[in-house]
């Protein structure tokens, strides 16, 4: 009987260990620790020659799945807000808001991919790990996306997120002041200011 139990124990170890050490499993397990968070961000676009051609700074609030609020403060102020169904793009400088359906969003942006919970769909990617750094290569060819990466700690803190395009351009997003916080769904509804020009693209 003891021999049988020992055999079963080692069999479980053999089956379980490869799963627990799989980068895909490890990444999903780390990301599952986060349901909602806020952070400050710096997003940079780097061309094929390694030159920074665009920089944006701001704050973000994300609640999975698909709830997000981005406030860009540099170089120009504007807002991206989604309640999971609609996306509002508000430009206070010209007092205009554009409304989209979230399901139709095809924006290749690290922030959008992060907010749309895309990285938790790990089965769509071949995942490689180097400590806290994970590289995700799409299993199906993507015309724009070559691969993307994320750095996330064992306790679920996201440090950075990068998108590598087929043409060689890179979009990097560095996060700071990362905080796990509770948020209500109604915090992700954009109340259009009176007098705002509305461009409804739904």
Average pLDDT score over the chain: 84
C-alpha angle 11-12-14 in degrees, rounded to nearest 5: 65
Lowest mean pLDDT among 49-53, 90-94, 142-146, 159-163: 142-146
Q: Which H or E element spans position 198?
A: strand 197-200
Kindly report whether the global pTM for this prediction surpasses the value 0.75: yes
Provide the domain count of the chain.
Answer: 1
pLDDT exceeds cutoff 60 at 191 = yes
- Pick the closest to residue 38 from 192, 157, 171 (CA basis): 157
Lowest mean pLDDT among 16-30, 43-57, 164-178: 16-30
Lowest mean pLDDT among 58-67, 113-122, 158-167: 113-122
User: CA-CA distance, 200 to 202, in Å (whole number)?
Assistant: 6
CATH number at residue 74: 2.50.20.10
φ/ψ region of 168 (left if φ > 0, alpha if ψ in -120 to 50, else beta) reads left
pLDDT > 90 fraction of the chain, expressed in percent and rounded: 55
- Pick the closest to residue 69 from 157, 169, 187 (CA basis): 187
pLDDT value of position 24: 86
pLDDT exceeds cutoff 50 at 155 = yes
pLDDT value of position 12: 42
User: CA-CA distance, 12 to 3, in Å (whole number)?
Assistant: 14
Domain that holds residue 49: 2-200
pLDDT value of position 79: 94
- Pick the closest to residue 151 from 105, 110, 109 (CA basis): 110
Q: How confident is the model at residue 107 (pLDDT cuts 50, 70, 90)?
A: low
Q: How confident is the model at residue 16 (pLDDT cuts 50, 70, 90)?
A: very low
Q: What is the mean pLDDT of residues 120-134?
A: 83
pLDDT value of position 125: 83
Eight-state DSSP code of residue 116: T
Contact of 54 with 47, CB cutoff 8 Å: no
pLDDT value of position 106: 60
């Amino acid at each position: 009987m003891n021999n049988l139990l020992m055999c079963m124990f080692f069999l479980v170890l053999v089956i379980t260990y490869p799963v627990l050490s799989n980068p895909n499993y490890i990444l999903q397990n780390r990301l599952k620790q986060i349901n909602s968070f806020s952070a400050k961000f710096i997003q940079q676009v780097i061309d094929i020659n390694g030159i920074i051609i665009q920089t944006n700074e701001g704050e973000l609030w994300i609640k999975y799945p698909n709830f997000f609020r981005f406030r860009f403060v540099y170089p120009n102020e504007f807002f991206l807000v989604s309640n999971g169904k609609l996306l509002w793009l508000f430009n206070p400088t010209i007092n205009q808001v554009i409304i989209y359906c979230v399901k139709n969003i095809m924006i290749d942006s690290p922030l959008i991919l992060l907010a749309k919970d895309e990285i938790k769909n790990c089965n769509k990617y071949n995942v490689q790990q180097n400590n806290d750094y994970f590289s995700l290569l799409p299993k199906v060819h993507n015309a724009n996306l070559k691969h993307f990466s994320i750095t996330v700690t064992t306790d679920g803190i996201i440090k950075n997120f990068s998108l590598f395009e087929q043409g060689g351009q890179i979009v990097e997003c560095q996060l700071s002041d990362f905080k796990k916080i509770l948020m209500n769904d109604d915090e992700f509804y954009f109340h259009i200011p009176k007098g705002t020009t509305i461009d409804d693209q739904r």
